[in-house]
Amino acid sequence: MTESRAVTDLDHSPTHSLAAVLKIRDFRNLWLGLGLSSLGDWIGLLAITALANQRAGDLKGVIGGNSYQLENFAIAGVLFLRVLPALLMGPIAGYIADRLDRRWTMIIGDYLRAALFLSMPLVGSLWWVFGATVLIEAVSLVWGPAKDATVPNLVPPHRLEAANQISLATTYGSALPAALLYTTLTILTKTVHWSFGWWHGGDSPIQLALYFNALSFLVSGIVISRLKTIPRGAAATGAGHEGSPWRAIVDGWRYVMGTPLVRGLVVGIIGAFSAGGLVVGLARTFVADLGGGEPGYGVLFACVFGGLGLGMWRGPRLLQGLSRRRLFGLMLTGAGLTLIPIAAMQHLEIVVALTVLLGFCSGVAWITGNTMLGLEVPDEWRGRTFAFVGSMIRLSLSVVLAVGPLAAGLIGRHHITFPNSNVDLVYNGAAWTFLVAGLVMTAVGVTSYRQMDDRKGISLLSDLRNAITTTPGVYSANGVFVAFEGGEGSGKSTQAKLLKTWLEEQGHDVVLTHEPGDTEVGRKVRKIVLDPATGNLADRTEALLYAADKAEHVETVVAPALSRGAVVITDRYVDSTLAYQGAGRSIPVSELERVARWATGDLRPHLTVLLDLEPSAGLTRFEGRDRIEGEAIEFHQRVREAFLRMATAKPERYLVVDAHLAPEAIAALVRGRVEPLLAPAPDPEVAPHEVPQ
């Protein structure tokens, strides 16, 4: 690779590239298995709720009631039984999965679910539907953690976020093709019956859907059986038996409930899923109230999860410039507000459109909250926290799926006829349940937004405008790029050297550099912009000289090092230009940023460490001052405020550290944020090998 192509080569495969992840053969095969399993799971949910609805007569001899109530109670019974395994074994499902061979756990799990779904239409009893549902859910609770634990072993660390995004979008977005398949199968059986007289009986479409569902799990097991590189798991090979399951559960609960930010995220994530789940649980009843049939049920179901998958896949990218904390609260509020008109509307077409929006808001909230958990939760708590969140999501979703139809059934269908008029008002339990849930969800969203708002005093509309117009930037898919920023005397050079020493001790290829002046051209620029003998420079001249230094620096030092997979540590980068020439010199930041981003090919650090120190303290840490250091204290105060504004706007990309701390204490904090970004250091005893394609 020539130096002139270095920046271009970094652009073609960004970190979030989904296509790059799917080129990895083993992950692609696991993804195919996941897609088939998820497809079967959603078709199964549609089919077993429909089967329970048709078998509602089995309840008549037990609880009595009218047909409307029995149908809702039968659906609620199936969905409520999905809660039972999550309630009993959800918190320890990951603990169990870690003690089994992951590959065989997934293969056997798929085969078992295929057999259980196949048995439902063959047995035909509502009571066996209830029993098989419990068993299927128990198997899924162990299958899921085994799959989640496998993904990091199949993709390189810098692709893990994109791999998780694909997995989540597949898991929940597959509800859309599942609903379309279910709808197609119901229409197909009716058409064939009318044409040839086959498949007579009201439950024939449901039986066909269950047979197809069983086949999808069978094929998934066969696909996963072709994977030979899935590790068994640490516990299955004799490690990882420290501690008890009970201690892991208690510690996870204590941490989540005792940390305000994490607690708010968990409540919000659960709320986002609950909003979508409520529509799923009431879809059949609500569509019937609106005069729709089986196809309408399938369409509404598809819209919820199609919107959910779309939100997970594309939502955060549409508003990358918006603070994740603001985006999270905004989407929760949007989900609640969307439920209210859904409850009020009596036209299926409008309800369908609103349901897509509801799913989209919930999907964005989920993926945003999940990302913040990964960034905010310390590494030693991350595994238990995600296990807790996963089980609580499944549990809460199952509760909502069960309680929604139950509440609608208890409210029932009512008619109010006004005397001396032809007006006959009808209100149904499903609509009232939606209305109450919408009001509660809106309150949760507004509360979350106010508590987590990290941009207080800045208009949300202004923030949204900036988010829409801000470019996402380029993050190198190879290596790790770390920038140290801060005011004069904050200790950037010291911390950059400490980080370099630690990384080299771990066996990493490290390049330590700085701006301005780490190239031959840059040294000439540095002398011009920093030498007091230069005297006054026009503000724009100074900014363009710094931009020239950055262009040469990225092209000849930073990009080539990242391309070969090195860790690049730079003392100052683009943020210094925006702070010193923007806030300090009062050049419009929008103009300055365009120049700086163009000069660097919009290449951005994976992590920016901001060493925060008040100027009055920093300027006393050295003798002799250059052109910039010699500016008035007000200049340096504006610079400090600009640095803090940038860090607040993108907290996931920054580590802000009090520069008053001891150097070793600061170094430990920096290492804690850098370590998760690193790929394993190469073993000199092992020959390099290519990632399987």
pLDDT, the chain, mean: 77
With bands split at pLDDT 50, 70 and 90, how would you rate the model's confidence at 690?
very low
Q: Quick one: pLDDT at residue 199?
A: 46
What order of strands is seen across the sheet that includes strand 567-571? 510-514, 567-571, 480-486, 607-612, 654-658
pLDDT of 385 > 90? The answer is no
The dihedral sign for the CA sequence 675, 677, 683, 684: negative
Task: Output the six-digit token pair for 446.
Answer: 């507004």
Average pLDDT rounded to a whole number, residues 587-591? 82
Q: Side chain identity at 192, as an amino acid letter?
A: V
Say what angle helices 25-54 and 126-154 make with each other, to 10 degrees: 170
Strand pairing category for 567-571 and 480-486 = parallel
Which pTM value belongs to this model? Answer: 0.56
What residues have CB less than 8 Å from 233, skipping those under 6 apart? 97, 98, 99, 100, 101, 102, 146, 149, 240
pLDDT of 42 > 90? The answer is no
Beta bridge partners of 608: 483, 654
pLDDT of 507 > 70? The answer is yes
Domain architecture of the chain: domains with CATH: 13-234 (1.20.1250.20), 246-472 (1.20.1250.20), 473-677 (3.40.50.300)
Instruction: Choose the weakest-confidence range: 96-105, 421-430, 580-589.
Output: 421-430
Are 468 and 555 in contact, with CB atoms under 8 Å apart? Answer: no
If one compares 380 and 364, the residue with the highest pLDDT of the two is 364
Share of the chain above pLDDT 70, in %: 72
Alpha helices, DSSP H, located in 600-656: 615-618, 633-649
Average pLDDT rounded to a whole number, residues 644-658? 83
Encode pLDDT of 221-232 as tens digits. Answer: 898 888 877 766
Average pLDDT rounded to a whole number, residues 171-176? 74
Encode pLDDT of 462-487 as tens digits. Answer: 667 766 666 666 778 788 999 999 99
With bands split at pLDDT 50, 70 and 90, how would you rate the model's confidence at 320?
low
Average pLDDT rounded to a whole number, residues 42-68? 68
SS3 letters across 161-181: HHHHHHHHHHHHHCHHHHHHH
> What is the C-alpha separation between 506 and 502, in angstroms, rounded?
7
With bands split at pLDDT 50, 70 and 90, how would you rate the model's confidence at 239?
very low
pLDDT of 508 > 90? The answer is yes
Half-sphere exposure in the Cβ direction for 25 (13 Å, CA):
8
With bands split at pLDDT 50, 70 and 90, how would you rate the model's confidence at 39?
confident
Task: Output the six-digit token pair for 48.
Answer: 């077993």
Share of the chain above pLDDT 90, in %: 16
Q: Quick one: pLDDT at residue 495?
A: 95
Which SS3 state, helix, strand or coil, does residue 685 take?
A: coil
Average pLDDT rounded to a whole number, residues 191-207? 56
The full length of the chain comes to 693
Q: Quick one: pLDDT at residue 8?
A: 45
Which SS3 state, helix, strand or coil, does residue 306 take?
A: helix
